[in-house]
A and B are shown apart, each in its own frame.
Chain A
Amino acid sequence: MAYTAKFKVWRGDAESGGLHDFDVEVNEGEVVLDIIHRLQATQAPDLAVRWNCKAGKCGSCSAEINGRPRLLCMTRMSTFTEDEVVTVTPMRTFPVIRDLVTDVSFNYTKAREIPSFTPPKDLQPGEYRMQQVDVERSQEFRKCIECFLCQNTCHVVRDHEENKEAFAGPRYLMRIAELEMHPLDTADRVRPAQDEHGLGFCNITKCCTEVCPEHIKITDNALIPMKERVADRKYDPIVWLGNKLFRR
Protein backbone atom coordinates (compact mmCIF):
# COMPACT_ATOMS: atom_id res chain seq x y z
CA MET A 1 0.00 0.00 0.00
CA ALA A 2 1.27 3.46 -0.86
CA TYR A 3 1.85 5.93 1.96
CA THR A 4 3.61 9.23 2.48
CA ALA A 5 6.91 8.94 4.32
CA LYS A 6 8.92 11.61 6.10
CA PHE A 7 12.45 11.88 4.81
CA LYS A 8 15.42 13.95 5.95
CA VAL A 9 18.11 14.15 3.29
CA TRP A 10 21.47 15.84 3.77
CA ARG A 11 22.10 18.42 1.06
CA GLY A 12 25.15 20.62 0.70
CA ASP A 13 28.80 20.61 -0.29
CA ALA A 14 32.23 20.87 1.34
CA GLU A 15 31.49 24.41 2.61
CA SER A 16 28.05 24.04 4.14
CA GLY A 17 24.98 21.87 4.27
CA GLY A 18 22.25 20.39 6.39
CA LEU A 19 19.28 18.05 6.58
CA HIS A 20 16.29 18.92 4.38
CA ASP A 21 12.76 17.66 5.09
CA PHE A 22 10.67 15.93 2.44
CA ASP A 23 7.26 14.27 2.37
CA VAL A 24 7.38 11.62 -0.31
CA GLU A 25 5.30 8.75 -1.61
CA VAL A 26 6.38 5.18 -0.90
CA ASN A 27 4.97 2.12 -2.65
CA GLU A 28 5.12 -1.51 -1.74
CA GLY A 29 8.42 -3.25 -2.46
CA GLU A 30 10.47 -0.09 -2.81
CA VAL A 31 13.98 0.51 -1.52
CA VAL A 32 15.48 3.76 -0.23
CA LEU A 33 17.14 4.43 -3.60
CA ASP A 34 13.68 4.39 -5.26
CA ILE A 35 12.58 7.13 -2.89
CA ILE A 36 15.70 9.19 -3.59
CA HIS A 37 14.93 8.83 -7.31
CA ARG A 38 11.35 9.94 -6.67
CA LEU A 39 12.67 13.00 -4.89
CA GLN A 40 14.84 13.75 -7.93
CA ALA A 41 11.87 13.29 -10.24
CA THR A 42 9.40 15.37 -8.24
CA GLN A 43 10.92 17.74 -5.69
CA ALA A 44 14.70 18.04 -5.94
CA PRO A 45 15.87 17.59 -9.54
CA ASP A 46 19.43 18.60 -8.70
CA LEU A 47 19.85 16.15 -5.80
CA ALA A 48 23.20 14.39 -6.31
CA VAL A 49 23.38 10.65 -5.72
CA ARG A 50 25.73 7.99 -7.06
CA TRP A 51 24.30 4.67 -8.18
CA ASN A 52 24.55 2.17 -11.03
CA CYS A 53 23.23 -1.35 -10.74
CA LYS A 54 20.40 -1.09 -8.21
CA ALA A 55 21.15 -4.70 -7.40
CA GLY A 56 23.76 -4.41 -4.66
CA LYS A 57 26.57 -5.39 -6.96
CA CYS A 58 28.30 -2.22 -8.16
CA GLY A 59 28.98 -0.72 -4.76
CA SER A 60 28.15 2.85 -5.86
CA CYS A 61 25.19 3.81 -3.70
CA SER A 62 26.83 3.66 -0.26
CA ALA A 63 25.36 6.16 2.20
CA GLU A 64 24.11 6.31 5.77
CA ILE A 65 20.48 5.63 6.54
CA ASN A 66 19.29 6.51 10.03
CA GLY A 67 22.94 6.73 10.94
CA ARG A 68 23.82 3.26 9.70
CA PRO A 69 26.18 2.78 6.77
CA ARG A 70 24.25 0.88 4.07
CA LEU A 71 23.62 0.53 0.37
CA LEU A 72 20.68 2.72 -0.69
CA CYS A 73 19.57 0.09 -3.19
CA MET A 74 19.56 -2.78 -0.72
CA THR A 75 17.70 -1.09 2.12
CA ARG A 76 14.03 -1.95 1.86
CA MET A 77 11.47 0.63 2.92
CA SER A 78 9.60 -2.20 4.64
CA THR A 79 12.29 -2.20 7.34
CA PHE A 80 10.91 1.13 8.57
CA THR A 81 7.56 1.80 10.13
CA GLU A 82 5.27 4.17 8.20
CA ASP A 83 5.61 6.96 10.75
CA GLU A 84 9.38 6.62 11.11
CA VAL A 85 11.48 9.51 9.82
CA VAL A 86 14.12 8.20 7.43
CA THR A 87 17.36 10.18 7.52
CA VAL A 88 19.77 9.83 4.61
CA THR A 89 23.26 11.34 4.68
CA PRO A 90 26.42 10.83 2.68
CA MET A 91 29.18 8.64 4.15
CA ARG A 92 30.78 10.62 6.95
CA THR A 93 34.37 9.48 6.62
CA PHE A 94 35.17 10.77 3.13
CA PRO A 95 35.20 14.36 1.87
CA VAL A 96 31.78 15.34 0.61
CA ILE A 97 31.45 16.55 -2.98
CA ARG A 98 27.75 17.30 -3.11
CA ASP A 99 24.63 16.00 -1.39
CA LEU A 100 24.96 12.23 -1.09
CA VAL A 101 28.11 12.00 -3.19
CA THR A 102 31.51 11.71 -1.51
CA ASP A 103 35.06 11.65 -2.81
CA VAL A 104 36.23 8.09 -2.21
CA SER A 105 39.71 8.51 -3.71
CA PHE A 106 41.25 7.70 -0.31
CA ASN A 107 40.42 4.10 -1.14
CA TYR A 108 42.05 4.18 -4.56
CA THR A 109 45.21 5.60 -3.01
CA LYS A 110 45.26 2.80 -0.47
CA ALA A 111 44.64 0.20 -3.18
CA ARG A 112 47.65 1.41 -5.16
CA GLU A 113 49.93 1.15 -2.13
CA ILE A 114 49.62 -2.64 -2.09
CA PRO A 115 52.07 -4.48 -4.38
CA SER A 116 50.11 -6.56 -6.87
CA PHE A 117 49.97 -10.35 -7.15
CA THR A 118 53.52 -11.68 -7.39
CA PRO A 119 53.73 -15.21 -8.85
CA PRO A 120 57.01 -17.14 -8.88
CA LYS A 121 59.42 -15.61 -11.43
CA ASP A 122 59.84 -18.75 -13.53
CA LEU A 123 56.11 -19.36 -13.87
CA GLN A 124 54.50 -18.18 -17.11
CA PRO A 125 50.86 -17.11 -17.31
CA GLY A 126 48.96 -20.22 -18.32
CA GLU A 127 51.16 -22.41 -16.16
CA TYR A 128 49.41 -21.51 -12.94
CA ARG A 129 48.25 -24.67 -11.20
CA MET A 130 46.65 -24.68 -7.79
CA GLN A 131 44.37 -26.77 -5.63
CA GLN A 132 40.84 -25.66 -4.90
CA VAL A 133 41.34 -25.98 -1.10
CA ASP A 134 44.32 -23.65 -1.34
CA VAL A 135 42.49 -20.82 -3.07
CA GLU A 136 39.18 -21.25 -1.27
CA ARG A 137 40.01 -19.08 1.71
CA SER A 138 40.93 -16.04 -0.33
CA GLN A 139 37.94 -16.47 -2.63
CA GLU A 140 35.64 -15.22 0.10
CA PHE A 141 37.43 -11.87 -0.06
CA ARG A 142 36.87 -11.60 -3.80
CA LYS A 143 33.15 -11.17 -3.20
CA CYS A 144 33.98 -7.57 -2.27
CA ILE A 145 32.05 -5.04 -4.38
CA GLU A 146 34.21 -2.11 -3.24
CA CYS A 147 31.35 -0.19 -1.74
CA PHE A 148 33.77 1.18 0.91
CA LEU A 149 31.14 0.90 3.62
CA CYS A 150 33.70 -0.90 5.78
CA GLN A 151 36.29 1.81 5.16
CA ASN A 152 33.66 4.39 6.03
CA THR A 153 32.59 2.72 9.26
CA CYS A 154 36.00 1.82 10.64
CA HIS A 155 36.50 4.11 13.62
CA VAL A 156 40.27 4.23 13.04
CA VAL A 157 39.76 6.70 10.22
CA ARG A 158 36.14 7.70 10.73
CA ASP A 159 36.93 9.21 14.10
CA HIS A 160 40.55 10.15 13.46
CA GLU A 161 41.29 11.96 10.23
CA GLU A 162 45.01 11.95 11.09
CA ASN A 163 45.13 8.13 10.87
CA LYS A 164 44.21 8.12 7.17
CA GLU A 165 47.87 8.43 6.25
CA ALA A 166 49.00 5.35 8.17
CA PHE A 167 46.00 3.04 7.92
CA ALA A 168 44.91 1.14 4.81
CA GLY A 169 41.49 0.27 6.21
CA PRO A 170 39.70 -3.09 6.43
CA ARG A 171 39.09 -3.48 2.71
CA TYR A 172 42.77 -3.17 1.86
CA LEU A 173 44.10 -5.11 4.82
CA MET A 174 41.77 -7.81 3.55
CA ARG A 175 43.34 -7.45 0.11
CA ILE A 176 46.74 -8.07 1.71
CA ALA A 177 45.31 -11.14 3.46
CA GLU A 178 43.91 -12.35 0.13
CA LEU A 179 47.34 -12.16 -1.51
CA GLU A 180 49.12 -13.55 1.54
CA MET A 181 46.85 -16.61 1.52
CA HIS A 182 47.13 -17.07 -2.25
CA PRO A 183 49.02 -20.30 -3.00
CA LEU A 184 51.10 -18.73 -5.78
CA ASP A 185 51.92 -15.35 -4.28
CA THR A 186 55.57 -15.00 -3.29
CA ALA A 187 55.78 -11.44 -1.98
CA ASP A 188 56.30 -10.76 1.72
CA ARG A 189 52.98 -9.38 2.90
CA VAL A 190 53.20 -9.91 6.63
CA ARG A 191 55.74 -7.39 7.86
CA PRO A 192 54.47 -4.60 5.56
CA ALA A 193 50.89 -5.25 6.75
CA GLN A 194 51.95 -4.16 10.22
CA ASP A 195 54.71 -1.67 9.43
CA GLU A 196 53.34 0.10 6.35
CA HIS A 197 49.61 -0.53 6.15
CA GLY A 198 48.70 -0.05 9.79
CA LEU A 199 47.23 -3.44 10.76
CA GLY A 200 48.07 -2.65 14.39
CA PHE A 201 45.54 0.20 14.39
CA CYS A 202 42.70 -2.28 14.02
CA ASN A 203 41.31 -3.25 17.41
CA ILE A 204 39.10 -5.99 15.96
CA THR A 205 35.89 -4.33 17.05
CA LYS A 206 34.23 -5.75 13.91
CA CYS A 207 32.30 -2.78 12.57
CA CYS A 208 33.63 -3.55 9.10
CA THR A 209 32.13 -7.03 9.33
CA GLU A 210 28.88 -5.61 10.68
CA VAL A 211 28.29 -3.34 7.69
CA CYS A 212 29.65 -5.42 4.80
CA PRO A 213 26.75 -5.97 2.36
CA GLU A 214 28.50 -9.06 0.99
CA HIS A 215 28.65 -10.53 4.50
CA ILE A 216 32.37 -11.14 4.24
CA LYS A 217 33.79 -12.11 7.63
CA ILE A 218 36.47 -9.46 7.29
CA THR A 219 37.65 -9.46 10.89
CA ASP A 220 37.52 -13.19 11.61
CA ASN A 221 38.85 -14.45 8.31
CA ALA A 222 41.19 -11.73 7.10
CA LEU A 223 42.25 -9.33 9.86
CA ILE A 224 42.71 -11.72 12.78
CA PRO A 225 44.56 -14.31 10.65
CA MET A 226 46.83 -11.47 9.49
CA LYS A 227 47.39 -10.37 13.09
CA GLU A 228 48.33 -13.93 13.96
CA ARG A 229 50.80 -14.04 11.07
CA VAL A 230 52.30 -10.77 12.22
CA ALA A 231 52.61 -12.25 15.71
CA ASP A 232 54.42 -15.26 14.18
CA ARG A 233 56.85 -12.97 12.44
CA LYS A 234 57.36 -10.17 14.89
CA TYR A 235 56.23 -11.09 18.38
CA ASP A 236 56.66 -14.82 18.87
CA PRO A 237 60.20 -15.83 19.94
CA ILE A 238 59.45 -19.56 19.69
CA VAL A 239 58.17 -19.43 16.12
CA TRP A 240 61.10 -17.17 15.26
CA LEU A 241 63.56 -19.70 16.69
CA GLY A 242 61.78 -22.59 14.98
CA ASN A 243 62.00 -20.82 11.63
CA LYS A 244 65.70 -20.11 12.18
CA LEU A 245 66.47 -23.70 13.14
CA PHE A 246 64.35 -25.51 10.58
CA ARG A 247 64.31 -22.94 7.77
CA ARG A 248 60.65 -23.45 6.92
Chain B
Amino acid sequence: MKSGVGAPTRARIPDKTLRTDRWWLPPLLTNLGLAAFVVYATIRSFWGSAYWVPEHGYLTPFYSPCLSESCLPGSSHFGTPLPELPGWIPLGFLALPFLLGFRLTCYYYRKAYYRSVWQSPTACAVAEPHDRYTGETRFPLIIQNAHRYFFYVAFLISIINTYDAILALTHGLGLGGIILLVNVTLLWAYTLSCHSCRHIAGGRLKHFSKHPVRYRLWTLISKLNVRHMQLAWTTLATLVITDLYVMLVASGVISDLRIIS
Protein backbone atom coordinates (compact mmCIF):
# COMPACT_ATOMS: atom_id res chain seq x y z
CA MET B 1 0.00 0.00 0.00
CA LYS B 2 3.02 2.31 0.24
CA SER B 3 3.35 2.71 -3.50
CA GLY B 4 -0.30 3.00 -4.53
CA VAL B 5 -3.21 4.61 -2.70
CA GLY B 6 -0.87 4.84 0.28
CA ALA B 7 1.66 7.03 -1.56
CA PRO B 8 2.72 10.11 0.43
CA THR B 9 1.03 12.81 -1.69
CA ARG B 10 -2.39 11.20 -1.72
CA ALA B 11 -5.30 11.63 0.65
CA ARG B 12 -4.47 9.73 3.86
CA ILE B 13 -6.97 6.88 3.82
CA PRO B 14 -5.77 3.62 5.36
CA ASP B 15 -8.42 1.34 3.78
CA LYS B 16 -7.54 -0.55 0.59
CA THR B 17 -11.06 0.25 -0.56
CA LEU B 18 -14.11 2.03 0.80
CA ARG B 19 -16.48 0.16 -1.45
CA THR B 20 -19.54 -1.10 0.42
CA ASP B 21 -21.03 -3.29 -2.30
CA ARG B 22 -20.12 -6.96 -2.78
CA TRP B 23 -17.15 -6.27 -5.05
CA TRP B 24 -15.56 -9.59 -4.10
CA LEU B 25 -18.45 -11.64 -5.48
CA PRO B 26 -17.88 -11.43 -9.28
CA PRO B 27 -14.20 -12.46 -9.06
CA LEU B 28 -15.15 -15.30 -6.72
CA LEU B 29 -17.81 -16.57 -9.14
CA THR B 30 -15.33 -16.25 -12.00
CA ASN B 31 -12.81 -18.37 -10.11
CA LEU B 32 -15.38 -21.02 -9.32
CA GLY B 33 -16.66 -21.08 -12.91
CA LEU B 34 -13.20 -21.31 -14.46
CA ALA B 35 -12.05 -23.93 -11.95
CA ALA B 36 -15.12 -26.09 -12.58
CA PHE B 37 -14.51 -26.00 -16.31
CA VAL B 38 -10.79 -26.70 -16.04
CA VAL B 39 -11.39 -29.70 -13.78
CA TYR B 40 -14.11 -31.12 -16.03
CA ALA B 41 -12.18 -30.51 -19.26
CA THR B 42 -8.97 -32.03 -17.90
CA ILE B 43 -10.69 -35.18 -16.66
CA ARG B 44 -12.61 -35.65 -19.88
CA SER B 45 -9.66 -34.93 -22.16
CA PHE B 46 -7.62 -37.69 -20.51
CA TRP B 47 -10.59 -40.06 -20.08
CA GLY B 48 -9.95 -41.82 -23.39
CA SER B 49 -13.38 -43.41 -23.85
CA ALA B 50 -17.10 -42.62 -24.19
CA TYR B 51 -16.47 -39.90 -26.77
CA TRP B 52 -18.09 -41.42 -29.83
CA VAL B 53 -21.58 -42.82 -30.49
CA PRO B 54 -21.25 -44.86 -33.68
CA GLU B 55 -24.94 -45.50 -34.32
CA HIS B 56 -25.83 -41.79 -34.26
CA GLY B 57 -22.49 -40.34 -35.36
CA TYR B 58 -21.95 -38.19 -32.26
CA LEU B 59 -18.38 -37.10 -31.59
CA THR B 60 -17.65 -34.89 -28.60
CA PRO B 61 -15.80 -31.66 -29.43
CA PHE B 62 -13.15 -32.58 -26.84
CA TYR B 63 -11.95 -35.39 -29.14
CA SER B 64 -12.25 -33.66 -32.47
CA PRO B 65 -10.45 -34.07 -34.77
CA CYS B 66 -9.49 -37.62 -33.80
CA LEU B 67 -6.57 -38.47 -36.05
CA SER B 68 -4.75 -41.44 -34.58
CA GLU B 69 -5.15 -45.18 -34.87
CA SER B 70 -6.17 -45.27 -31.23
CA CYS B 71 -9.46 -43.57 -32.17
CA LEU B 72 -12.58 -45.69 -32.20
CA PRO B 73 -13.59 -46.92 -35.66
CA GLY B 74 -15.72 -44.30 -37.37
CA SER B 75 -14.74 -41.42 -35.12
CA SER B 76 -11.84 -40.34 -37.33
CA HIS B 77 -13.64 -38.15 -39.84
CA PHE B 78 -10.38 -37.13 -41.46
CA GLY B 79 -8.53 -40.44 -41.52
CA THR B 80 -5.84 -41.67 -39.16
CA PRO B 81 -2.54 -40.19 -40.29
CA LEU B 82 -1.12 -40.71 -36.79
CA PRO B 83 -0.09 -44.05 -35.27
CA GLU B 84 -1.46 -45.40 -32.02
CA LEU B 85 -0.92 -43.09 -29.07
CA PRO B 86 0.15 -44.03 -25.55
CA GLY B 87 -2.83 -43.86 -23.21
CA TRP B 88 -1.74 -40.70 -21.42
CA ILE B 89 -1.95 -38.52 -24.52
CA PRO B 90 -5.47 -37.11 -25.00
CA LEU B 91 -6.89 -38.17 -28.35
CA GLY B 92 -7.79 -34.56 -29.05
CA PHE B 93 -4.22 -33.44 -28.41
CA LEU B 94 -3.90 -31.63 -31.74
CA ALA B 95 -6.75 -29.19 -31.22
CA LEU B 96 -6.89 -28.88 -27.44
CA PRO B 97 -3.71 -26.82 -26.89
CA PHE B 98 -4.83 -24.29 -29.49
CA LEU B 99 -8.33 -24.04 -28.06
CA LEU B 100 -6.83 -23.56 -24.63
CA GLY B 101 -4.43 -20.97 -26.04
CA PHE B 102 -7.25 -19.18 -27.84
CA ARG B 103 -9.20 -18.82 -24.63
CA LEU B 104 -6.15 -18.03 -22.49
CA THR B 105 -5.13 -15.14 -24.74
CA CYS B 106 -8.73 -14.00 -25.38
CA TYR B 107 -9.23 -10.39 -24.35
CA TYR B 108 -12.26 -11.30 -22.29
CA TYR B 109 -10.69 -14.22 -20.43
CA ARG B 110 -7.61 -12.11 -19.80
CA LYS B 111 -9.78 -9.56 -18.07
CA ALA B 112 -11.52 -12.33 -16.15
CA TYR B 113 -8.45 -14.13 -14.83
CA TYR B 114 -6.32 -11.04 -14.32
CA ARG B 115 -9.06 -9.87 -12.00
CA SER B 116 -10.06 -13.08 -10.30
CA VAL B 117 -7.01 -15.34 -10.33
CA TRP B 118 -4.23 -12.77 -10.32
CA GLN B 119 -6.19 -10.05 -8.48
CA SER B 120 -4.74 -7.31 -10.57
CA PRO B 121 -7.04 -5.63 -9.71
CA THR B 122 -9.63 -7.77 -7.88
CA ALA B 123 -12.26 -5.12 -8.57
CA CYS B 124 -12.21 -1.49 -9.62
CA ALA B 125 -10.92 0.91 -6.97
CA VAL B 126 -9.83 -1.98 -4.75
CA ALA B 127 -6.10 -1.84 -4.10
CA GLU B 128 -4.35 -4.87 -5.57
CA PRO B 129 -2.06 -7.02 -3.41
CA HIS B 130 1.01 -6.76 -5.67
CA ASP B 131 3.96 -4.49 -4.98
CA ARG B 132 5.06 -4.20 -8.55
CA TYR B 133 3.18 -4.21 -11.80
CA THR B 134 4.38 -4.29 -15.39
CA GLY B 135 1.23 -5.56 -17.11
CA GLU B 136 1.70 -6.95 -20.58
CA THR B 137 4.89 -5.05 -21.31
CA ARG B 138 7.29 -7.96 -21.00
CA PHE B 139 7.74 -11.73 -21.11
CA PRO B 140 5.71 -13.85 -20.45
CA LEU B 141 2.57 -11.74 -20.79
CA ILE B 142 3.80 -10.10 -23.98
CA ILE B 143 2.86 -13.41 -25.63
CA GLN B 144 -0.77 -12.34 -25.33
CA ASN B 145 -0.10 -10.42 -28.53
CA ALA B 146 -0.18 -13.75 -30.40
CA HIS B 147 -3.93 -13.99 -29.84
CA ARG B 148 -4.71 -13.65 -33.57
CA TYR B 149 -2.73 -16.79 -34.38
CA PHE B 150 -4.80 -18.78 -31.93
CA PHE B 151 -7.85 -17.23 -33.54
CA TYR B 152 -6.81 -18.52 -36.97
CA VAL B 153 -6.49 -22.05 -35.63
CA ALA B 154 -9.73 -21.80 -33.63
CA PHE B 155 -11.44 -20.74 -36.85
CA LEU B 156 -10.25 -23.91 -38.57
CA ILE B 157 -11.31 -26.05 -35.62
CA SER B 158 -14.78 -24.49 -35.75
CA ILE B 159 -15.03 -25.68 -39.36
CA ILE B 160 -14.10 -29.18 -38.20
CA ASN B 161 -16.70 -29.05 -35.41
CA THR B 162 -19.29 -27.95 -37.92
CA TYR B 163 -18.41 -30.91 -40.10
CA ASP B 164 -18.81 -33.22 -37.09
CA ALA B 165 -22.26 -31.82 -36.33
CA ILE B 166 -23.43 -32.11 -39.93
CA LEU B 167 -22.13 -35.67 -40.11
CA ALA B 168 -24.25 -36.54 -37.08
CA LEU B 169 -27.30 -35.21 -38.92
CA THR B 170 -26.71 -37.68 -41.75
CA HIS B 171 -27.56 -40.41 -39.20
CA GLY B 172 -31.01 -38.93 -38.64
CA LEU B 173 -32.06 -36.43 -36.02
CA GLY B 174 -31.82 -36.88 -32.29
CA LEU B 175 -31.45 -34.67 -29.26
CA GLY B 176 -27.69 -35.22 -29.45
CA GLY B 177 -27.59 -33.84 -32.97
CA ILE B 178 -29.44 -30.72 -31.87
CA ILE B 179 -27.05 -30.28 -28.96
CA LEU B 180 -24.06 -30.61 -31.29
CA LEU B 181 -25.61 -28.08 -33.64
CA VAL B 182 -26.42 -25.53 -30.93
CA ASN B 183 -22.94 -25.95 -29.51
CA VAL B 184 -21.21 -25.39 -32.82
CA THR B 185 -23.37 -22.37 -33.61
CA LEU B 186 -22.42 -20.77 -30.32
CA LEU B 187 -18.78 -21.72 -30.85
CA TRP B 188 -18.91 -19.82 -34.13
CA ALA B 189 -20.49 -16.84 -32.42
CA TYR B 190 -17.78 -16.84 -29.76
CA THR B 191 -14.97 -17.30 -32.27
CA LEU B 192 -16.22 -14.62 -34.65
CA SER B 193 -16.89 -12.14 -31.85
CA CYS B 194 -13.18 -12.20 -30.98
CA HIS B 195 -11.48 -8.81 -30.82
CA SER B 196 -8.70 -9.98 -33.14
CA CYS B 197 -11.29 -11.12 -35.64
CA ARG B 198 -12.95 -7.71 -35.43
CA HIS B 199 -9.60 -6.10 -36.12
CA ILE B 200 -8.74 -8.39 -39.02
CA ALA B 201 -12.18 -8.05 -40.61
CA GLY B 202 -12.00 -4.27 -40.79
CA GLY B 203 -10.88 -2.72 -37.55
CA ARG B 204 -7.36 -2.15 -38.81
CA LEU B 205 -8.58 0.05 -41.69
CA LYS B 206 -8.24 3.79 -41.53
CA HIS B 207 -10.74 4.46 -44.33
CA PHE B 208 -13.90 2.42 -44.04
CA SER B 209 -15.31 4.31 -47.03
CA LYS B 210 -12.77 2.66 -49.33
CA HIS B 211 -13.68 -0.87 -48.21
CA PRO B 212 -17.48 -1.13 -48.02
CA VAL B 213 -17.55 -4.93 -47.71
CA ARG B 214 -15.05 -5.07 -44.88
CA TYR B 215 -16.82 -2.16 -43.21
CA ARG B 216 -20.06 -4.14 -43.33
CA LEU B 217 -18.27 -7.16 -41.91
CA TRP B 218 -16.72 -5.07 -39.16
CA THR B 219 -20.14 -3.65 -38.27
CA LEU B 220 -21.61 -7.13 -37.97
CA ILE B 221 -18.71 -8.46 -35.92
CA SER B 222 -18.85 -5.38 -33.69
CA LYS B 223 -22.44 -6.30 -32.86
CA LEU B 224 -21.36 -9.80 -31.85
CA ASN B 225 -18.28 -8.45 -30.10
CA VAL B 226 -20.28 -6.62 -27.42
CA ARG B 227 -21.58 -10.07 -26.39
CA HIS B 228 -18.10 -11.59 -26.24
CA MET B 229 -18.20 -12.13 -22.48
CA GLN B 230 -21.62 -13.77 -22.53
CA LEU B 231 -20.53 -15.99 -25.41
CA ALA B 232 -17.32 -16.93 -23.61
CA TRP B 233 -19.32 -18.30 -20.67
CA THR B 234 -22.16 -19.78 -22.71
CA THR B 235 -19.75 -21.78 -24.83
CA LEU B 236 -18.00 -23.16 -21.75
CA ALA B 237 -21.40 -24.37 -20.63
CA THR B 238 -22.44 -25.79 -24.01
CA LEU B 239 -19.09 -27.56 -24.39
CA VAL B 240 -19.63 -29.30 -21.07
CA ILE B 241 -23.26 -30.12 -21.84
CA THR B 242 -22.39 -31.47 -25.29
CA ASP B 243 -19.55 -33.60 -23.99
CA LEU B 244 -21.58 -34.85 -21.05
CA TYR B 245 -24.46 -35.85 -23.29
CA VAL B 246 -22.20 -37.70 -25.71
CA MET B 247 -20.46 -39.37 -22.79
CA LEU B 248 -23.73 -40.55 -21.23
CA VAL B 249 -25.08 -41.87 -24.51
CA ALA B 250 -21.79 -43.47 -25.52
CA SER B 251 -21.45 -45.27 -22.22
CA GLY B 252 -25.03 -46.48 -22.33
CA VAL B 253 -26.20 -44.60 -19.23
CA ILE B 254 -28.95 -42.92 -21.24
CA SER B 255 -30.18 -43.53 -24.73
CA ASP B 256 -30.44 -40.74 -27.26
CA LEU B 257 -33.85 -39.15 -27.70
CA ARG B 258 -34.57 -39.77 -31.36
CA ILE B 259 -36.78 -37.44 -33.35
CA ILE B 260 -36.16 -38.85 -36.83
CA SER B 261 -34.12 -42.03 -36.98
Contacts and interface: CB of A to CB of B under 8 A. Distances in A.
A224 B195 contact: yes
A229 B107 CA distance: 14
B18, B136, B146: residue with the most chain A Cβ atoms closer than 10 Å: B18
Contacts of A234: 145
A205 B141 CA distance: 14
A94 B142 CA distance: 29
B12 interface: yes
A201 interface: yes
A201 B136 contact: yes
Interface string A1-24: 000000000101010111100000
A213 interface: no
Nearest to B215: A133
Contacts of B142: 200, 235
B127 A66 contact: no
Contact of B20 (A67, A96, A204): A67
Given A156-B133, A201-B135, A228 B5 contact: no
A196 interface: no
B125, B130, B137, B199: residue with the most chain A Cβ atoms closer than 10 Å: B125
Contacts of B121: 155, 159, 205, 207
Interface stretch (A36-44, A111-119, A160-168): A160-168
A160 B132 contact: yes
Contact of A210 (B124, B138, B146): B124
B255 to A, nearest CB: 45
Nearest to A100: B11
B259 interface: no
B40 to A, nearest CB: 26
A228 B195 contact: yes
A64 B125 contact: yes
A161 B203 CA distance: 33
Interface in A143-187: 153, 155-156, 158-163, 181, 183
A92 B13 contact: yes
A183 B206 contact: yes
Interface stretch (B41-49, B77-85, B87-95, B108-116): B108-116
B177 to A, nearest CB: 35
A220 B204 contact: no
Contact of A200 (B137, B215, B225): B137
B163 interface: no
B223 interface: no
B261 interface: no
B74 interface: no
Contact of A207 (B5, B18, B19, B124): B124
A92 B137 contact: no
A49 interface: no
Interface string B131-171: 01111111001100111100000000000000000000000
Complex A-B, nearest 7 residue pairs according to Cβ-Cβ distance, in ascending order? A67-B18, A67-B19, A159-B4, A200-B137, A95-B9, A207-B124, A228-B199
